[in-house]
């Protein structure tokens, strides 16, 4: 093998490695963003606390007073 072939193979290997890292962390960030974005907002009717719950439940218990509240609809 000559030097040019080794350099080209090395450049493709390094480029493939960084492309793999870019794809991995890009998908990971998108997944974390989607999990954080998918929250439902609630306002407690008893203590007036605004809080959020993961997912899209219709009711959720207030973390401050324990009262079960319906989700806010805008």
Helix (H) or strand (E) run with residue 17 in it: helix 3-37
* C-alpha pair distances (Å), 67 with each of 24, 35, 37, 39: 42, 25, 24, 19
pLDDT digits (tens, 9 = 90+) for 11-39: 999 999 999 999 999 999 999 888 778 88
- What region does 55 belong to: left with phi over 0, alpha with psi -120 to 50, or beta? left
- Would the pTM count as exceeding 0.75? no
pLDDT digits (tens, 9 = 90+) for 37-63: 888 889 999 999 999 888 778 899 999
Contacts of 38 (CB under 8 A, 6+ apart): 54, 55, 56
CA distance 9 to 3: 10
């Amino acid at each position: 093998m000559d030097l040019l072939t080794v350099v080209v193979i090395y450049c493709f290997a390094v480029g493939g490695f960084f492309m793999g890292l870019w794809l991995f962390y890009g998908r990971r960030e998108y997944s974390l963003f989607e999990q954080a974005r998918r929250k439902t907002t609630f306002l407690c009717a008893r203590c007036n606390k605004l809080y959020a719950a993961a997912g899209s439940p219709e009711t959720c218990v207030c973390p401050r007073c324990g009262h079960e509240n319906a989700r806010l609809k805008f």
